[in-house]
Structure 1
């Protein structure tokens, strides 16, 4: 399947879990489609890029290791994604990667998530925290930054400052997640 054919196919992806899972499994079964999917995902001004992001998120949710050969491409370009329906799944993929990295269970992400990739993820997450994004990317970013703050001692103070500064102006969903993260940070620092 060419990139052009995949692009056409992605027009059939909708919000249903069933469709996203169908296309995610198609990509998992045909790993040569992953770079094509990412190429479409990073056509950031095109509405179909959002559909590619949904499929990529589901692919990572089902088989995260399939993303390993493309971590450089993904982390290098993810900060260019700006359409709301695409930002959320990209932030979710970052959360998948970082949760796997800190998992107690052995997995390939632990050795594949290089410092440069973590630094790019940190930068993107702080951007999502300070920019006018919806709650979901901010919630994923908070969690990612909290976890990465275990290895980068400067992250927690910055994260706490942003959460406390923005707390009053944000939604109840943001406030609930922020309280949870702030409590975990304070617990770790005692």
Structure 2
């Protein structure tokens, strides 16, 4: 997809702060430091619209980015960072679960997994939530450039089996460094928002 317009809109913590223009929303979920901001920047071909941080756990709200006046990317807080308090983790969990359950414009969640690591307990919990609420999900396996190409299939299989994914769940291997998977992931995203529009 050719992105001609991309802008940060708001960091929201309460439903009344979410945009009300009913554009379709694609949410991104994953562990702290898994590369969500880098993935957004590669998708929109900007260097730093989504701010990357060397401090895991920095994103504490739902960050909205409007793309081509056509859809929103919604960047969830990264989870699983040990220095975040238990109370903070519980608040984030409640915010995200409420969003997943009630947010009508949400069309798909991209669950971001680092190719080098087995999905964590938090990854599995997030995936279980997505299945429970029957939310279309694409598992995006990032940092493909960090392992040899010969090991890609082995690692994808490990992620699929650890999460307990089934054939309806899409998988895209991605690298923010090389651009691998960018066109494929855009195709998945556009299909998700187009299917929803056509069903109305």
Shorter-normalised TM-score: what interval?
Answer: 0.3 to 0.5
> TM-score, normalising length from structure 2?
0.32
More helix by share: 1
Structure holding more strand per residue: 2
TM-score by length of 1: 0.33
